[in-house]
Amino acid sequence: IDNAGLEYILYPARKTSNPQSILQDGNYDYSFDTDGTLLAAANSETWDKFKDSTNRNNTNQDNLDEFERYRSTQGGRYGLEPELANSNGVYYIDNLRGRIFFDSSLAGKIITLKYISDSLGTDNEMVVHKFAEEALYKHIAHAILATRANTQEYLVLRFKKEKFAATRQAKLRLSNLKSEELAQVMRGKSKIIKH
């Protein structure tokens, strides 16, 4: 949220990660603790650079040449890649450590996390998503009809189409695709996406 109280969408930093680096001694042998497990560094160099960097649009003169060289190789045909032309700041989700990191341009700003619950709290509350459940039922119905004798072919084909449609819908809805992010990424490509 900016100083005027307006909310801006933050997009994820898709082109970074926090790889786990294994610690080594002076002879380049792996370091182990007393239990015999490998020791790993808390943060990688990639993460340290991401954490210390400021927003790409707020560059200073010292790294301007490197920034221009990087930007000139991105976006190919049209020059600027829209997902990088963002002054709102970016975030990175580290799934391995279960943390969300924000770049330093967001320091001191209010960040609102909007989360739609998956309705799961514990293993006892495990629920199959309704789209996945429907796709499973359609698959079972098609399998039963396809193996049954004296079933009319048009019924088998109808259930096959319904099974395919339900499976496709479940995959699309359960994937982690967000239309706004997809549109922003695809705007820089050779095919025009209207929205």
Share the mean pLDDT of the chain. Answer: 74
Residue closest to 90 by CA, chosen among 179, 15, 18? 15
Compute the average pLDDT of residues 45-49: 73
Tell me the per-residue pLDDT of 8-42, one tens digit each, with 9 for 90 and over. Answer: 778 777 777 777 777 888 888 888 888 888 887 77
pLDDT band at 62 (very low <50, low <70, confident <90, very high): very low
CA distance 40 to 42: 6
CA distance 18 to 93: 9
Single-letter code of the amino acid located at 180: E
pLDDT band at 59 (very low <50, low <70, confident <90, very high): very low
Compute the average pLDDT of residues 31-55: 75
Tell me the per-residue pLDDT of 63-91, one tens digit each, with 9 for 90 and over. Answer: 455 555 555 555 555 556 666 666 777 88
Residue closest to 18 by CA, chosen among 1, 35, 40? 40
CA distance 155 to 1: 55
| Phi, psi torsion values for 100, nearest 5 degrees | -115, 125
Task: Give the pLDDT of residue 11.
Answer: 77
Tell me the per-residue pLDDT of 170-179, one tens digit each, with 9 for 90 and over. Answer: 888 887 777 7
CA distance 185 to 35: 46
CA distance 122 to 125: 5
pLDDT band at 130 (very low <50, low <70, confident <90, very high): confident
